[in-house]
Amino acid sequence: MRKSLIVLATVAMSGCATLEPEPCTSEWVEWKTSQLTDSFSAQYRAELRDMRQFARKLENPSPFVLLEAAGYLEDFRTIATDFSGEIMPQLRGAIDQCGAPTEFAAAFSGFLQQQGMPASIVTWVEDIAATMDALSTDG
């Protein structure tokens, strides 16, 4: 009897662990995006933390803060390039199942918001990324 309860409990728990929302619902898009970005954000945890701190310094910039900018711009470029190369193809593949386009601008700015970047930085990224999206679809 005890073995039967353990097996039943294990089956029930494994069923809960593999539940995913119904495809193409807003819950599913959020769940899928989270699955894709969680490991990516862990990979860049230190850089994202440093960029958040730097973004706060930009609110009252000093000459030293402006000198730091070059290093952070390179980190930002690396993260954006890797996000575009690693996450976007997977995200587009998942969303294509639903027949809805997914643009880099919306995906990357959403990722940055989840990482706690200030709204001013996210808006700046949205503007640049939207331009990148427009250029990539025009060519």
14 occurs within a structural domain: no
DSSP state of 1: -
Asked if residue 46 is part of any domain, the answer here is yes
**Is 12 within the bounds of a domain?**
no
Residue ranges making up the domain that contains 30: 24-138
Angle at 115 between CA 74 and CA 107, to 5 degrees: 80
pLDDT (tens digit, 9 = 90+) per residue, 59-101? 888 888 878 888 888 888 899 999 999 998 988 887 777 776 6
What predicted TM-score, i.e. pTM, was given to this entire model? Answer: 0.63
Q: Quick one: 69 exposed, middle or buried, by C-beta within 10 A (0-12, 13-18, 19+)?
A: middle
Q: Kindly report, residue by residue over 99-116, the tens digit of the pLDDT.
A: 766 666 777 878 888 888
Per the structure, how many domains does the chain have?
1
